[in-house]
Amino acid sequence: MRPPELDCLFEPLDIGPVRTRNRFYQVPHCNGMGRAFPSAMAGMREVKAEGGWGVVSTEQCDIHHSSAHRRELRLWDRQDVPYLANAVTGIHRHGALAAIELAHNGFHVANLESRVVPLAPTGRPTRGVFPVHARTMTRRDIVDLRRWYRRAAENAVTAGFDIVYVYAGHDMTTPGFFLSREHNRRTDEYGGSLQNRVRLLREIIEETKDVAGDRAAVALRFGVDALPAPEGPDREEPRAVVEMLAELPDLWDVNLQSFAEDGQTSRFGPSGAQEDAVRFVKSVTSKPVVGVGRFTSPDMMARMIRHGVLDLVGAARPSIADPFLPAKTEAGRLDEIRECIGCNICVAGDKAGVPMRCTQNPTMGEEWRRGWHPEFVPSRSTGDSFLVVGAGPAGLEAARTLGQRGYDVLLVDADTELGGRSRRECRLPGLGEWARVHEWRLGRIRAMRNVVPAPANRITADDALAADVTSIVLATGARWRADGIGRYRSTPITGPADPAAGPRICTPDDLMDGDVPDGDVLLFDDDHYYMGSEPFST
């Protein structure tokens, strides 16, 4: 049974004309699948609905070829409805509401694919590395933009979505650009005063609500902490925007304007870090409010509801790490929740334009293609037994999965403590939450009588071959090479013949083992990824 203080998370709530079954809300998040892998996207969203999320949202969805994001979903016209309707069907199959985030990115994208000149409130270069310039929108362009939003909303409702977003957050959409004094230097009725700069957003919300009617709710996603301004972030105007539009949307989805801060890693921000920034919103509007903060603890989630900070607990990364977080919470199986570690490898996948992955949930992104499921694995089909050599993250996951399938498993590791690199990394400043990688798996393994952990057992190849098992899994990992060969350097860097006569060469392994050199250090980083998290924090 779940603790009674968590009951508030399972109360239904009306959002405009629709009702969600609970307070767990998977907010829009990109995933690197988009229009290139629509079935994978749909499969991933369906698993979250199966896991108990009351609302499951898409990522941002482009509404027109003048906003041709290179990897995101599209809803340019009715031809895009069927694949999105397929995602809706999967979400509805498990009783969740389906939400779609309609977006126009303006000068945030270069439109390399559509070759259409990007649009901006005031002409300027586009973001990124490509030499493309966005033109100032005419009044005709503004009328067209409103028409594109209306058409996209009509198609979204046709596809079956229950909640339709107007996306004006993260300083990367055209309605949001119009709000900003830095981006909007117009002198007509869409520029100048804040009331004028809000005009376009108000019109889009009103027209989206007109389309949605009683068939779908309309949500506004907005960063309430700051708006870009010539003199620096304006901390006052966001509240004024919320006050102006307070009762217009059916739902406020509030977060931080900077995507880097909104999705900051655990190294730089704890769970619930946005509470102070978003707390005021519920005092301004009577409409439901959803917000995020990389909430991984049901206790913190429930506190957000009980203390009146939020009406719905938003999650992106926690829903990736454990799509079944709501179901486990409802059943009182809190120790089984696979908590997000905030490493942001999911974000890295999307930025690279490939299906995202998750350090905690290896099934993420493979639900449709490989039929992997975060909770259920096939029962054993043979009488095989396994020796798993190495109890780092991969070895622990292999042993856990094999054990869950019903196989007998012997898990050996040379170290006295199981966990491998995860146990070493989590000792570095700011990386404490990374301990969840080994702690969660060890917790599951300890509950399995058919998996036997054997730490402090260094074995040879002959030992492994002599073990009384039918199969061997090698998960021994690797050590950092000390010769300087990396991504760009192909020849070794050698130290002095007599190590005492000159500088010694150290690796990240040495530092994590506590073998820190004295005196001045020259850092040679030809990794450009992992090493930056460590050397100066030891």
391: domain CATH number is 3.40.50.720
Indicate the residue among 453, 474, 495 that finishes a domain.
474
Query: Which residues are paired to 411 by β-bridges?
Result: 388, 453
For residue 67, tell me if it sits in a domain.
yes
Domain identity same for 133 and 236: yes
For residue 251, tell me if it sits in a domain.
yes
Does the pLDDT of residue 35 top 80, yes or no? yes
Mean pLDDT of the chain: 95
How is residue 531 written in tokens?
A: 């090493």
State the Cα–Cα distance between residues 328 and 321, nearest whole angstrom: 13
User: Average pLDDT of 144-150?
Assistant: 99
pLDDT tens digit string along 37-94? 999 999 999 999 999 999 999 999 999 999 998 889 999 999 999 999 999 999 999 9
For residue 360, tell me if it sits in a domain.
no
Residue 521: pLDDT band by 50, 70, 90 thresholds? confident
Range of the domain at 248: 4-352
What percentage of the chain carries pLDDT values higher than 70?
98
Indicate the residue among 327, 352, 377 that finishes a domain.
352
Domain identity same for 397 and 518: no
Residue 538: pLDDT band by 50, 70, 90 thresholds? very low
- Count structural domains, the chain: 3
- Looking at residue 34, the DSSP 8-state letter turns out to be G
For residue 375, tell me if it sits in a domain.
no
State the Cα–Cα distance between residues 403 and 424, nearest whole angstrom: 25
**Which DSSP string corresponds to 86-129?**
HHHHHHHHTT-EEEEEEE--GGGS--TTT-PPPEESS-EEPSSS
Domain identity same for 111 and 186: yes
Domain identity same for 442 and 484: no
pLDDT tens digit string along 426-435? 998 899 999 9
How is residue 380 written in tokens?
A: 């054993």
User: Average pLDDT of 373-383?
Assistant: 96
* pLDDT for res 270: 92
* pLDDT for res 511: 85
Domain identity same for 40 and 188: yes
pLDDT tens digit string along 229-285? 999 999 999 999 999 999 999 999 999 999 999 999 999 999 999 999 999 999 999
Domain identity same for 291 and 423: no
pLDDT tens digit string along 380-431? 999 999 999 999 999 999 999 999 999 999 999 999 999 999 999 999 889 9
Domain identity same for 306 and 408: no
For residue 222, tell me if it sits in a domain.
yes
Q: Nearest-CA neighbor of 360 among 402, 319, 322, 417? A: 322
Which residues have CB under 8 Å from 461's CB, separation 6+?
none
Structure-model confidence comparison of residues 327 and 504, the more confident one = 327
Domain identity same for 486 and 502: yes
For residue 191, tell me if it sits in a domain.
yes
Domain identity same for 400 and 500: no
**Which DSSP string corresponds to 363-380?**
TTT-TTTT---SS--PPP
User: What's the number of CA atoms in the CB half-sphere (13 Å) around residue 150?
Assistant: 13
Number of residues written out for the chain = 538
Asked if 5 contacts 149 with a C-beta cutoff of 8 angstroms, the reply is no
Query: Which residues are paired to 312 by β-bridges?
Result: 290
Does the pLDDT of residue 507 top 70, yes or no? yes
Domain identity same for 458 and 491: no
Q: What is the CATH number of the domain that holds 113?
A: 3.20.20.70
What percentage of the chain carries pLDDT values higher than 90?
86
For residue 245, tell me if it sits in a domain.
yes
Indicate the residue among 433, 449, 474 that finishes a domain.
474
State the Cα–Cα distance between residues 218 and 248, nearest whole angstrom: 9
Residue 15: pLDDT band by 50, 70, 90 thresholds? very high
* pLDDT for res 171: 97
Q: Where are the beta strands (DSSP E) in 395-525?
A: 408-412, 451-454, 471-474
Does the pLDDT of residue 351 top 90, yes or no? no
Q: Which amino acid is at 528?
A: H
What does the H/E/C string look like for 285-299?
CCCCEEECCCCCCHH
Residue 530: pLDDT band by 50, 70, 90 thresholds? confident
Domain identity same for 198 and 309: yes
For residue 369, tell me if it sits in a domain.
no
Domain identity same for 391 and 429: yes
